[in-house]
Structure 1
Amino acid sequence: MARSDIHLARENDEVELQFRLIMRRLAGGVSIITAGRGEDITGMTVTSVTSLSVDPPRLLVSVNRQASSFALIERHGLFGVNILGADQLDLARRFSNGKLKGRQRFDGIDWSAGSSGVPILGESLATLECRVEEIIERHSHAIIIGSLLDFDLSSRPSSLVYWNSGYIEIDRDSDLDLLADVSIPLAHVR
């Protein structure tokens, strides 16, 4: 196929709508990014956390530059990543609820200030506290590179995933049982 035959978007389609539909096909782990200190705290649900390197430990997160979380990350140079388990669907919804703002999102839930001062949610599968190493602003979002300051890891075997406009709960133990019922060899799953 000649390069001129490749079309990224049809002229009569709404490109943004089509792009969103395409990206919804990509499953992503659900995390809550937290930021701020003291009473000036906020958080947001994201699926845009990914590893950048292990040596040294760095990660990437993409955040809308209009989000209140971005302003606090930029101001303090710190943020938390709270990776959600399958039983934390309510938290994912709470931190994506546009009616709740800033500190309100933390009311009535288990959280504490981490060693860096950023809010860390209790019962997460894993939490990471990061210092901003670099912010790369592009279009509506910023790519934030975080260097690991502190972390905690739970032994719970479940995860929350966002796919095709909905949340999916994944539990290693029960999902392996389901795979065994349909005769998928475990060697291919691990």
Structure 2
Amino acid sequence: MNSIVRNLQVDRDVAPAEFRGAMRSLAGGVSVITVGRGKDITGMTVTSVSSLSVEPPTLIVSVNRQSSSWPLLQRYGAFGVNILTADQLDIAERFSGKDGLKGAARFAGAQWVTRATGVPLLVGGLAAIDCEVEEVIERHSHAIVIGRVRDVITAVPRTALTYWDGQYVAIDQNEDALKLAEVSLPSPRGLREI
């Protein structure tokens, strides 16, 4: 493994509120990370999922080490990434913990299946990705979890649920693609389309 570790000298500390405000400018797809097996399950709503590699299929998720999901992720070494549709806002809210539900209670009201690793995967989302933990990198309050994809369930594309500027936003591929085309910058002159 190649890694670079540096001791950074910072002129000033950035306040958490300042950083949080800047990060609200970054729109993110909303997913529910599920962990555990059987009745020993829980999960959390995140916007921190990113693909790492296609060959082999791997992805990255950032997990707060104080979350209820962290011990189960460590114990079972597997997790599910459930990419939500705009119609699944209630699931995003339930797994965010705002209503006080914990553990298996968060899974009520939706259909779940298991695949290779045994973690619950949501039926009817945009996609559900079954992952085995390949590596964990602990930094500060969070851990970067690298997951090797073991199975994928996809659905017919629908309106996606995203989070931007402190609120949930629906993105519809057909409608929003037309809106973006209307306001897009023209192609630079001299470039040939292929």
Q: In angstroms, what is the RMSD of aligned CA positions?
A: 2.1
State yes or no: 1:111 paired with 2:140: no
Deviation at 1:173, TM superposition (A): 1.8
- Consecutive unaligned residues of structure 2, counting only runs of 5 or more, are 1-9, 188-194
| Distance apart, 1:62 and its partner CA | 0.2
Q: Which amino acid aligns with 2:165?
A: N
- Matching residue of 2:156: 155
TM-score (norm 1): 0.86
| Cα drift, residue 113 of structure 1 | 2.3
Match of 2:65 in 1: 65
Query: C-alpha separation between the residues in 2 aligned to 1:183 and 1:96?
Result: 34
> 117-126 or 84-93, which moves further after superposition?
84-93
CA distance in 2, matches of 1:147, 1:183: 38
Percent sequence identity over matched residues? Answer: 54
In the alignment, which residue of structure 2 is the partner of 1:82? 82
Alpha-carbon displacement from aligned partner over 1:8-47 (angstroms, at most 9, x marks no partner):
557xxxx011111111111111100000000010010000
Which amino acid in 2 is paired with 1:129?
D
Residue deviations 1:81-110 (CA, integer Å, cap 9, x gap): 001112211111111024010001012221
Structure 1 unaligned residues grouped into runs of 5+: 1-5
Q: Which residue of 2 aligns with 1:125?
A: 126
Question: Matched residue of 1:25: which SS?
Answer: coil
Question: What is aligned with 2:172?
Answer: 171
The alignment's TM-score, normalised by the length of structure 2, stands at 0.84
Q: Relative to 1, partners in 2 of residues 1:8 and 1:163: Cα closer, same or farther, differing over 3 Å?
A: farther
